[in-house]
Structure 1
Amino acid sequence: MPRQLDQLPPDATSLARRLASLEREVREMRAARRMTAASVGTLRVYADDGTTLLAELGPDAGNGGGGLWTRGLQDPINMSGYLSSGQLQFRPVEDGQVAVPAGITYDSDAFQYTDLILTSGNVASTAHRAMLTLESTFEGGHPYVYVQAEDSNQCNMDVLGVLTAANIAYGTINITPSPGVPTSFNVTGLNLMGSTFTAFATAQTSLPGTQVTGVGVTNVSATGLTVWLTRTNNTSTGISWMVMGI
């Protein structure tokens, strides 16, 4: 009858390898047991220790549909999300932390339009969510970007920097008029987007109505405008102007 001593590995290296293999098998058995105990149709992914839950794919009873949740090793903030019916949603791992999760939704009728919608979550169920919609239209029509709250409610937008747009132009010119005679200056070289154009002009003066008696604009188009100045003397005057296309 063999002795217990005869069943041990012959050296320390072999013993260490056997122990490492045994630990690995135990981790795999733990993971398999957790998978077996999981709900039907649920897939869970664990870390090497067989205990830390990294991700879970399966039904999401709290929000409906199926879902993919990432749970572990998301330092410093644990985030989760579920994917269902063309919608990817995000919320904290801890249940009950937000009333409505944030989301990314893709929608299309495969004919006339496609929409990609980014929606912020909110903590209170009565709070409005901010929405950014990227929309393309049928047969090469101009795409649109919408910034609003849900249900077309107001949404404020803060631009940290200089806002530029292809349908807006502005600048400053100087006009030296003949006394009492409307004098013009042609602004050219613009290339504005839009089909209808509106322009504004104002004199840079502290004497409106006395020496500066009038400022106006004519011939407003996508490529330029004519600015007019009338004053009682021939003092060179700065004129600020703006054109907007819609």
Structure 2
Amino acid sequence: MPRQLDQLPPDATSLARRMAALEREVRELRAARRMGTATVGTLKVYADDGTTLLGELGPDAGNGGCGLWTRGLQDPINMSGYLSSGQLQFRPVEDGLVAVPASIYYDSDAFQYSDLTLTSGAVNPTDHQALLTLESLFDGTAHASIQGENSSPCSFDVLGVLTASNIAYGQVSITPSGANSPTSINVTGLGLIGSTFYAFATASTAVSGTQVTGVGVSSPTAGGCTVWVTRINTNATFVNWMVIGI
């Protein structure tokens, strides 16, 4: 009759392999048991330990729809899944309602660029699509562009105030030092981005050409510009100005 000692693996390596295989089988049994008891209509994905819930795909009773939720393995980084380079498409549930699905497209050559493009899709084959492209280049620059497909024009509406780090504008009040004498005031502290700068100015007045005979701007830089006004008297004059860097 064989003894229990004779049934043990002959060496530590064999024993470790047997233990690893046993642990793997236990994890698979746990995962199978959880899948067997999962809610009908819901797909749950567990980690190798068979207990940590990583994701769940199923109906959302509160909103009457469905969704994909990612869960465990989110500490310290709140991220548990990736999509490889490729395209994720969206369209109505009913077939045939749109000719071109909307999409999110990621592409990179892992050397020179990394692009993420969002497209609007199109109802009819001849309709133009709107594209938003977020791009990072190897030279350290980053770009965001909005256009139609095949570089066609695309309108851009801003519901709010548009601001940009290369544009500054404002208003100054200039009191001429004398009649018909060009008088200036310096605009400073702009901190604009760009290498070449252009400035514009116009008087806020209803007597242009009769009392206000001249408005100008000089020496535009990233930091500011000089605004000028000339009039036939010494009344204070408001001048609107703008500086753009490119």
Same fold by TM-score, threshold 0.5 exceeded? yes
Pairwise CA distance, 1:113: 0.5
Deviations, residues 156-214 of structure 1 (Å, cap 9, x unaligned): 11111111100000010000001011001111111000111111000111111111000
Pairwise CA distance, 1:232: 0.3
1:202 alignment counterpart? 202
Deviations, residues 28-61 of structure 1 (Å, cap 9, x unaligned): xxxxxxxxxxxxxxxxxxx955xx698xxxxxxx
Pairwise CA distance, 1:78: 7.7
Pairwise CA distance, 1:93: 2.0
2:19 alignment counterpart? none
1:126 alignment counterpart? 126
Partner SS state of residue 216, structure 1? strand
In structure 2, the CA distance between the partners of 1:77 and 1:132, relative to structure 1 (3 Å rule), is: farther
- 2: distance between equivalents of 1:76 and 1:152? 39
> In angstroms, what is the RMSD of aligned CA positions?
2.7
* Equivalent position amino acid for 1:185 in 2: I
5 Å-filtered alignment, 1:1-246, equals: 48-49=39-40, 86-140=86-140, 142-177=141-176, 178-246=178-246
* Equivalent position amino acid for 1:219 in 2: S
Do the aligned partners of 1:78 and 1:93 also contact (CA within 8 Å) in 2? no
Partner SS state of residue 151, structure 1? helix
Pairwise CA distance, 1:139: 3.4
- 1: distance between equivalents of 2:84 and 2:90? 12
In structure 2, the CA distance between the partners of 1:213 and 1:180, relative to structure 1 (3 Å rule), is: same
Share of identical aligned residues, percent?
Answer: 61
Pairwise CA distance, 1:72: 6.3
Deviations, residues 98-131 of structure 1 (Å, cap 9, x unaligned): 1110100111111111100011111111101111
* Structure 2 unaligned regions, length at least 5: 1-37, 44-56, 68-82
Runs ≥4 in structure 1, deviation > 2 angstroms? Answer: 70-79
Partner SS state of residue 139, structure 1? coil
Do the aligned partners of 1:119 and 1:132 also contact (CA within 8 Å) in 2? yes
Partner SS state of residue 200, structure 2? strand
Deviations, residues 13-41 of structure 1 (Å, cap 9, x unaligned): xxxxxxxxxxxxxxxxxxxxxxxxxxxxx
Do the aligned partners of 2:202 and 2:239 also contact (CA within 8 Å) in 1? yes
- 2: distance between equivalents of 1:161 and 1:148? 20
Do the aligned partners of 1:86 and 1:106 also contact (CA within 8 Å) in 2? yes
Do the aligned partners of 2:121 and 2:129 also contact (CA within 8 Å) in 1? yes
- 2: distance between equivalents of 1:224 and 1:193? 12
- 1: distance between equivalents of 2:99 and 2:66? 17
* Equivalent position amino acid for 1:218 in 2: S
What is the TM-score with the length of structure 2 in the denominator? 0.68
* Equivalent position amino acid for 2:184 in 1: S
* Equivalent position amino acid for 2:160 in 1: G
* Equivalent position amino acid for 1:199 in 2: A
- 2: distance between equivalents of 1:146 and 1:218? 32
* Equivalent position amino acid for 1:241 in 2: W
What is the TM-score with the length of structure 1 in the denominator? 0.68
Deviations, residues 199-243 of structure 1 (Å, cap 9, x unaligned): 100011111111100000111111010011000000000000000
